[in-house]
Amino acid sequence: MDRRLSVLRAIVDEFVRSGEPVGSKAIATKHVLGVSSATIRNDMAALEDEGYITAPHTSAGRIPTDKGYRLFVDQLSSVKPLSIAERSAIETFLNQAVDLDDIMVRTTKLLAQLTQQVAVVQYPSLQLTSVRHVELVGLPNRKVMVVVISDTGRVEQRITEVAHEMGEVSLDELRQKLNGLIAGALFVDVPTKLGDLAKSLPAEQRANAVAIVACLLETLVERPEEKIVVSGTSNIAKMGQEQIRTLAPLLEALEENVVLLKLLGEVNSDNLTVKIGHENSIAQLSDAAVVSTNYGTQSQAIARLGVVGSTHMNYENNMAAVAAVASYVGRIVTEG
């Protein structure tokens, strides 16, 4: 039945716009389907039987269920591209960024702005990037600062203490050795590549080198948490006031990076992923929907980004925005 789908689409449309349950009459007048409200009532009864919509109470209209949204979204196969104006706005805004931090912040702001939802952007994963350069800086008191620069522009630094003072010369030497070994290598490969570095060194340098390498490995690998940026929290408050009850757990969840990463991480086979209501595994967010996608090059995803909001968000717009922003960020970050 083709008209049934149109009715569902109309219900979602209306509900997203008004936030209130929509009745048969409203659909008959506002959406041109060429049938009367009675017919639509029949269709709605059928849709309700199949579990796509539900009535909050007897004398109210219907609202889509998670299953209904799901069907609606699946129907939205091809993502409608943004307007040229929007695209160029995105591009110029992101191009003004001066460094990786700036790119990340600008991206979240942009997404939040475009979707009027809460935007979440994950930093390029350390696991999937490679080392561009390692820098060692001697500090007073036998301290050495280890700085790692990734090919995405991410800079990680850590300070460690060594057994005995190192001169500029020995630091230079070690730096060159390290860079020779691991410059260009993937972060995950670094441990193996550095495995037997120590043995190749004269005994008196070995202790220091071991300490520094340990620090380096810690910086690269033993930091399981991925960094993320969130923006647009205030958009939550703009949503309907009935949902403000749902707001507290959402805000709390947003402060838990782990939760957010989990949310973003649940990927379908498809890249652009939409998780609706209970589909996402965090129970407190059963009223929330997540639109997320990878970014990076075509061949290699670097990290993910997306928006989280109420289940009755404007999926069409938001999916388009997420996809568009992801493509630009991917390009900018990988170009370096």
Partner DNA sequence: ATTAGCACTCTCAAACTATGAGTGCCAAAA
Partner DNA sequence: TTTTGGCACTCATAGTTTGAGAGTGCTAAT
| Residues in touch with DNA (CB under 7 A) | 3, 21-26, 34-39, 41-42, 44-45, 48, 55, 57-62
Residue with the two structure tokens 């696991």: 127
193 binds a second copy (CB under 8 A): no
Q: What are the DSSP E strand ranges found in the chain?
A: 53-54, 63-64, 118-122, 131-139, 143-150, 155-161, 228-231, 273-276, 288-296, 301-310
Q: Which does 240 bind (CB under 5 to 8 A by kind): DNA, a second copy, none?
A: none
Cβ neighbors of 319 (< 8 A, separation 6 or more) are 73, 76, 79, 272, 274, 291
Q: Which of residues 8-67 bind a second copy (CB under 8 A)?
A: none
Q: Are the beta carbons of 88 and 81 closer than 8 angstroms?
A: no
Which CB, 124 or 232, lies closer to a second copy? 232
Q: Which does 48 bind (CB under 5 to 8 A by kind): DNA, a second copy, none?
A: DNA
310: β partners? 288
Q: Which two tokens stand for residue 13?
A: 């449309």
Which CB, 26 or 114, lies closer to a second copy? 114
Interacting span for a second copy (CB under 8 A) from 30-38, 150-158, 294-302, 310-318: 150-158
Element (H, E) at 13: helix 2-18
Angle between helices 203-220 and 168-182 (to 10 degrees): 50
Q: Which two tokens stand for residue 179?
A: 């860079």
Q: Per-residue string for binding with a second copy, 201-240, x by CB under 8 A? A: ------------------------------xxxx-xxx--
3-state secondary structure (DSSP) of residue 138: strand
Q: Which of 81, 88, 255, 268 binds a second copy (CB under 8 A)?
A: 255
Q: Which two tokens stand for residue 101?
A: 């931090």
137: β partners? 145
Which CB, 60 or 237, lies closer to DNA? 60
Interacting span for a second copy (CB under 8 A) from 9-17, 85-93, 194-202, 252-260: 252-260
Which CB, 23 or 153, lies closer to DNA? 23
Q: Which two tokens stand for residue 62?
A: 């219907």
Q: Minimum distance from CB of 178 to a second copy (Å)?
A: 13
Q: Which does 55 bind (CB under 5 to 8 A by kind): a second copy, DNA, none?
A: DNA
Q: Which two tokens stand for residue 199?
A: 């043995």
Q: Are the beta carbons of 311 and 289 closer than 8 angstroms?
A: yes
331 binds a second copy (CB under 8 A): no
Give me the residues that bind a second copy (CB under 8 A), please. Answer: 98-99, 132-133, 135, 137, 139, 145, 147, 149, 153, 155-159, 231-234, 236-238, 244, 247-248, 251-252, 254-255, 336
